[in-house]
Amino acid sequence: MANPSARLLEGAPIADEIRAAVAEDVISFKNTNGRPPGLAVVIVGRDAPSTVYLERILRGCAKVGIKAEFVELEGEATERTVVSAIRQLNADPTVDGVIVQMPLPPTIRLREVVDAIDPAKDIDGIHPLNAGLLRLGYDGFLPATAHAAVEILRRSGIEIAGRDAVVIGRSAVVGMPAAFLLVREDATVTVCHSRTRDLAAQIRRADIVIVAAGHPGLVRGADLKPGAVVVDVGINVVDGRIVGDVDFGSAVEVASAITPVPGGVGPLTNALLLTHLVRAAERQATDRRIAATKLEPTAALQGDR
Ligand code: NAD
């Protein structure tokens, strides 16, 4: 039956709450450590489309008192230059988090760059160590978009445990981490992708559908189980407008709750990235304090001689 009043799961109010908490954490970090948490964004070639997204992250950092900087490398930078820039940032104690602009130019191997990031500073969860921690159910850094896709459900009070969830997309940065997070929340999860035989049949079984395929109109209202909850991660430009992967007009008639695009997962992604950064800063500061106290007994012994 048509349900024109599907609840709109908006990211902005949740993001505002998260940012307010981050601003407080930043003040307390500053009081303890004498400096704000620091983020570095490595950019290879200024004209890539993702620069707009990264500039938004920089503005978001400024608003909550985080020190953020672009480390800009020439568009023709070699793999070695990029890796060496990352290593410098790893060694800089005022930089707590490192993000690298994606996609990289085709001449640079993704794996080499990802491996170079210190896992303790990998606030977008792309290093294999953090991916492995998520896979094993341990605490690590989560890819912010996948985190946002599941966090929007949790913070909106949507029940996840025991429900059938379908994730459309199996990328390392969105689909797969979202699926692992849903498993961690006790959902029964099916991952669909470009070779899935009957996508509509999979979608029809699902209480929760997370769509991250990069195909506008991939999921229509007629595909959904009535009352399903739909999280649309897709970002596509169609006729100069930003749209998701879900045909919103038809889906809103059938779903019980749905995220809009823009205004759903996107704002939450940016806010969660800030929480990851503050956590990275706090953990590294704690590790440094522990390392410093471990040295103390030796110093005391030397004084006794
Ligand atoms: P990707 O291209 O790496 O992966 C797309 C996935 O979708 C693949 O696993 C592919 O198998 C699957 N797929 C493609 N066509 C399909 C089809 N017809 N049926 C079923 N599965 C299909 O993309 P990604 O980096 O995972 O991003 C996915 C989408 O999320 C894109 O639209 C991207 O712009 C968007 N995105 C949004 C945010 C955000 O903050 N909201 C952040 C990152 C990416």
In terms of domains, do 105 and 154 share one? no
**Which residue's alpha carbon is nearest to atom 40 within ligand 1?**
266
Does residue 205 lie within any of the structural domains? yes
| Contacts of residue 35, Cβ cutoff 8 Å, sequence gap at least 6 | 67, 94
CA angle, 5 then 17 then 173, to 5°: 80
Instruction: For a ligand 1 pocket test, name from 102, 145, 197, 202 the mutation site with the most ligand atoms within 8 angstroms of its C-beta.
Output: 145
Distance 199 CA to ligand 1 centre (A): 15
State which ligand 1 atom lies nearest to the alpha carbon of 174: 26
Structure tokens that stand for 168 in this block: 């459309």
- Given this model, what pLDDT does residue 51 score? 79
Please give the Cα distance from 269 to 149 (Å, whole number): 8
Distance 85 CA to ligand 1 centre (A): 29
CATH of the domain at 151: 3.40.50.720
In terms of domains, do 90 and 46 share one? yes
- Given this model, what pLDDT does residue 1 score? 47
In terms of domains, do 154 and 80 share one? no
In tens, the pLDDT along 211-225 reads: 999 999 999 999 999
* Helix, strand or coil, per DSSP, at residue 211: strand
* Helix, strand or coil, per DSSP, at residue 230: strand
Range of the domain at 62: 20-118
Residue 303 confidence class, pLDDT cut points 50, 70, 90: low
- Given this model, what pLDDT does residue 48 score? 59
In terms of domains, do 99 and 150 share one? no
Distance 115 CA to ligand 1 centre (A): 23
Please give the Cα distance from 258 to 229 (Å, whole number): 6
Does residue 297 lie within any of the structural domains? no
